[in-house]
Amino acid sequence: MILVTGATGSIGRYLVRRLQQEQAPFKALVRDETKGRTLGCDFVVGDLDDADSIAAALKGVDRLFLNAAGAQPVSGEQPMIRQQKTAIDAARAAGVSEIVKISVWHAHEGGRLAEGAHWQIEQHLKASTPNWSLLQPSGFMQNFITGAGAFTDDGKLVGAYGDSAVSYIDCHDIAACAAVLLTGSPGTGESYVLTGPEALTQAQIAEKLSAATGRTVDYVNLSPDQLAAALKAQGLPPQFADDVAVLSEEVATGSLATTTSAVLDLTGRAPRTFDEFLADNREALRSGPVSSDG
């Protein structure tokens, strides 16, 4: 039996569908019972901030898909670190034999935000069980629907990546990789950097968004300092804004510009292009942040 955390999220929704299609035995962990009912699968209600609820959810489970919210700090700390360590400890106590975890590309010691937080969780995972798999994705194409891809109120795409490209990946493909790992032979400690099939600049993304939505989406490039100032002006914590700016500087040097063959190697299928992603998500795009009247 597989337990899917983050089942209502960008990756989890695809994973639930994929496991249903494969008739794999699984249940979803949800915080909100109403959301659980909309998934159309078995679910348990629990919260990664409540260790007892996770221990209860793990009864009868032998494989865990570990994913939850991102790296936004609360009162100066990243809850993700505590929450995922809690889940890993509960899984060990429950005798779970394998954990497949969503991490991030370039997770490393001392890294800012998600890069440092995931590195800490990765170390905890590796010390807890030999049967782990780490999926380390590039930026999600879904960011351009959820708004994590940074749009202004009037629908302009903003960023500080300059002319550097990013090999964005469709969460559909991340879920497909997770499904393979969760239903195949138990992993024995492998990390997979997952990317889409091509790297695109923000200007190219804006052009594609324009074509897909039928309205002009301009790209506004900011310096890292301007980006940090804009985030602070929106009320985000200063340290968080500064960390985002530093991460943007890394991306501007091309840190996410290459592609890997991991999706093809794991699933036997090439990852989806940005055009395929746009075609599949036309309706969501029309009601998302990019839809605002410019």
Ligand X SMILES: NC(=O)c1ccc[n+]([C@@H]2O[C@H](COP(=O)([O-])OP(=O)(O)OC[C@H]3O[C@@H](n4cnc5c(N)ncnc54)[C@H](OP(=O)(O)O)[C@@H]3O)[C@@H](O)[C@H]2O)c1
Residues that bind ligand X (CB under 6 A): 5-10, 12, 31-32, 35, 47-49, 67-71, 83, 102, 104, 114, 137, 139-140, 143, 148
Residue 267 C-beta: closest distance to ligand X, Å: 18
Q: Least distance from C-beta 107 to ligand X, angstroms?
A: 9
Non-local (6+) Cβ contacts of 137 within 8 A are 102, 104, 105, 169, 174, 193, 194, 195
Please say which residue, 137 or 289, places its beta carbon nearer to ligand X: 137
**Interatomic CA distance for residues 101 and 87, integer angstroms:** 11
**Residue with the CB atom nearest ligand X in the bound state:** 9
Structure tokens at 148: 């994590």
Q: Cβ-count burial of 215 within 10 angstroms (0-12 exposed, 13-18 middle, 19+ buried)? A: middle
Question: Smaller CB distance to ligand X: residue 283 or 293?
Answer: 283
CB neighbourhood size of 198 (10 A):
15
Residue with tokens 């310096």: 223
3-state secondary structure of 140: strand
Closest CB to ligand X among 37 and 216?
37
Q: 17: how many CB neighbours lie within 10 A of its CB?
A: 16
Q: Where are the alpha helices (DSSP H) in the chain?
A: 12-21, 33-39, 51-57, 79-93, 113-128, 143-146, 171-183, 202-213, 224-233, 238-252, 262-267, 274-280, 282-287
> Which is nearer to ligand X, 147 or 216 (by Cβ)?
147
DSSP structure string for 105-123 = TT--TT-SHHHHHHHHHHH
Task: Name the minimum Å distance from CB 1 to ligand X.
Answer: 18
In whole angstroms, how close is the CB of 226 to ligand X at the nearest point?
21
Give me the least distance between CB of 214 and ligand X, in Å please: 26
Is the CB of 191 or the CB of 294 nearer to ligand X? 191
Q: Which is nearer to ligand X, 137 or 197 (CB)?
A: 137
Shortest Cβ distance from residue 202 to ligand X (Å)? Answer: 14
